[in-house]
Each structure stands twice: as structure tokens, then as C-alpha cells.
Amino acid sequence: MEYVFAILVGLLMSASIYLMLSKKLVRVLMGIAILGNAVNLLIFTSGRLTRSVPPFIPEGSYLPLEQTANPLPQALVLTAIVISFSFLAYFLVLGYRAYQELGTDDVLEMRVAEPKGEEKPPLGY
């Protein structure tokens, strides 16, 4: 089962990298969205996929009675989902504001912070 998930994670990562190599900011943001999901799946898979019961311990005993699912990757994925979701929301607003202010969504034309043909520093002494 891990092999199938590994291939799926690889496909998602390559799709997101392809999108992030684009000049258009919207595609970059879509690539970021896919990347976040690919990473979550990767963490989930790295905790090993098993058919087992939820990690509950019955009353009166200190250990689970049978093999349980690994709860740690789920906690990690939950944290990572919250972070990637909040960042995606921020990026969408930032991308929209950038389009409003700079009039373009082509990252090669975003040259306000680093204008083309800047004057050189004083060359003599």
C-alpha cells in the first residue's frame, strides 16, 4: 500500500513543481496548494499504513490490547494542514493585491522592488 501512496505523492509533487516553475503567479499559488497536500500525504504515509483499530486504550489497562494505528502522523498532518491552509489564504490575498497594485500577474514583470536599469554606484573616488 505504501508504494501506491509513494507514487501518488511523487505525481503530486511533480505537478506542483511544474506549476511553480510558471511565470504566472496564479499557477505558482496552485502549485503551492498542491505541494501542501502532497506533503501531508507523505507524512501520513511515512507513519506506515496499516489496517488496524484507532489508538484507544480500554478502561482499566495501561496498554492497547492489539496493534493500533500510529496517531503521531495524524497529529503532524493536522498541524501542517492548518499552517498550509492559512498560508494559502494569505497568498491568495497577496496575489490579488499584487495584481491590483502592479497590474500584472507575470512574475518577470514585477520589477518595482528591483527596477531594470538601476543607476550604478559612484564609480570613482
Partner 1 sequence: MVTQPVQGADWLLVLPLLLTMAGGAVAIMLRKKTAVQPWIAIGVISLVVVSNLALLSHVLQHGVVTIVMGNWLPPFGIAFTADPMGALFALAASIVALCAAIYATGSIEASERRYGFFPFLILLLTGVTGAFLTGDIFNLYVWFEVLLIASVGMIILGNDKAQIDGGVKYAVLNFVATTLFLIATGLLYGLVGTLNMADIAIKVSELEGQGPIYGIAALYFLAFAMKAAAFPVNFWLPASYHTPRIVVSAVFGGLLTKVGVYALLRVVLMLMPETREWMGSFIGFVAIITMLSGVFGALAQTDIRRMIGYLVISGIGSMLAGLAVGNQIAVAGAIFYAAHSILCMTALYFLAGLMFNIGGSFSMRELGGLYTKSPLTAGCALVLLLAVAGLPPFSGFWPKVMLVEGALADGRGLVAASILVTGVLTAIAIGRFWIFCFWRGGPEGTEDGTLVPQADGSVAANAVSLPANITLSLGALTAIIILVGVFPEGVMAIVSKGAASLVDPNAYVQSVFGVWP
Nearer to partner 1 by Cβ, of 17 and 65: the residue is 17
Of 59, 58, 77, 76, whose CA–CA distance to 68 is shortest?
Answer: 58
Give the CA angle between residues 90, 97, 27 to the nearest 5°. Answer: 70
Contact positions with partner 1 (CB under 8 A) in 22-51? 25, 28, 32, 35-36, 39, 42-43, 45-48
CA–CA dist 15, 106 (Å, integer): 20
Residue choice 4, 56, 90, 106 for contact with partner 1 (CB under 8 A): 90
Q: Is 56 in the site for partner 1 (CB under 8 A)?
A: no
Reduced to 3 states (helix: H, G, I; strand: E, B; else coil), residue 115 is coil
User: Please, what sign has the CA dihedral across residues 117, 25, 23, 35?
Assistant: positive
| Chain residues 106-125 in contact with partner 1, contact rule CB under 8 A | 107, 110-114, 118-122, 125
33 close to 12: Cβ distance less than 8 angstroms: no
Footprint of partner 1 (CB under 8 A): 20, 25, 28, 32, 35-36, 39, 42-43, 45-48, 72-73, 76, 79-80, 83-84, 86-87, 90-91, 94-95, 97-98, 101-102, 107, 110-114, 118-122, 125
